[in-house]
Amino acid sequence: MSLAEKLAQVHAIIRQPTKDSLNPHFNSTFASLNECNRVVSIAVREVGDCDYWQRAVYNPEAKCYEMQTVFAADGSEVVLSSHPFRDDANPQKCASASTYARRYSLLSAFNLAAEDDDGNQAAKPSVTASGMEAAKRRMWAAIKSYAAKSGDDPGEIITALKDESTWNESSDYFEMVAMKFEDLANES
């Protein structure tokens, strides 16, 4: 059986992960990296004669690392997904970025559910443009505060965020990024 046929079988039998972790900022649940790896491993073992792994590869053009999710079968391998992340002199920040990249690369590679999709999100009223603008301003303020402490260029941070496959123009996303950079600024 070819690599493509094996991968199609894995995709056909894979179960969506259980949302086993809580995001305290949004009070929503999500599937952890361990849970995502668990469901992919079960499907790969069930299909047999195939494997997957993740590796960090430096991309000199983008000046960042990419977390690649690789699938192998029939003596061949293919990179299913690649998620960029920046290396950092702070080991804790680097480990956090690497874990985030591993989770999102795995989610993308195997079409796993990434967020709380129990219908509550769909039932929320839409955010007004002014609400989204306020969230975007908060994000910018947090990034500028972090950049002032770290010496990073705020424009480069935004460019890196926009290069990530998770970028979207929503107030929830802007709020999430704001909280992340507020936490980073407080750690600095």
Per the CB < 8 A criterion, the answer to whether 123 and 35 are in contact is: no
Q: Which of left, alpha, beta for 111 (phi over 0: left; psi -120 to 50: alpha)?
A: left
Tokens 């007004």, located at residue: 128
Q: Give the pLDDT of residue 188.
A: 62
Q: Give the pLDDT of residue 67.
A: 94
Q: Report the percentage of the chain scoring pLDDT > 90.
A: 35
Per the CB < 8 A criterion, the answer to whether 44 and 10 are in contact is: yes
Q: Give the pLDDT of residue 8.
A: 94
pLDDT tens digits for range 12-63: 999 989 888 877 777 778 888 999 999 999 999 999 999 999 999 998 988 8
Q: Give the pLDDT of residue 22.
A: 79
For 143, the token pair is 């990034």
Residue 47 amino acid letter: V
What average pLDDT does the segment 140-146 reach? 85
pTM of the model: 0.59
Confidence of residue 123 (pLDDT cuts 50, 70, 90): very low
Per the CB < 8 A criterion, the answer to whether 59 and 67 are in contact is: no
pLDDT at 118 over 60: no
Mark out the alpha helices in the chain (DSSP H runs).
3-13, 33-47, 91-109, 120-123, 129-150, 154-163, 171-187
User: How many residues belong to the chain?
Assistant: 188
Residue 39 amino acid letter: V
pLDDT at 125 over 70: no
Sequence ranges of the domains in the chain: 1-115, 127-188
Three-state DSSP class for residue 146: helix
Q: Report the percentage of the chain scoring pLDDT > 70.
A: 88
Residues with Cβ within 8 Å of 111's Cβ and at least 6 positions away in sequence, in order, are 11, 14
pLDDT at 117 over 60: no
Per the CB < 8 A criterion, the answer to whether 30 and 21 are in contact is: yes
Tokens 């179960």, located at residue: 15
Per the CB < 8 A criterion, the answer to whether 100 and 85 are in contact is: yes
Looking at per-residue pLDDT, the higher value among 119 and 124 belongs to 124
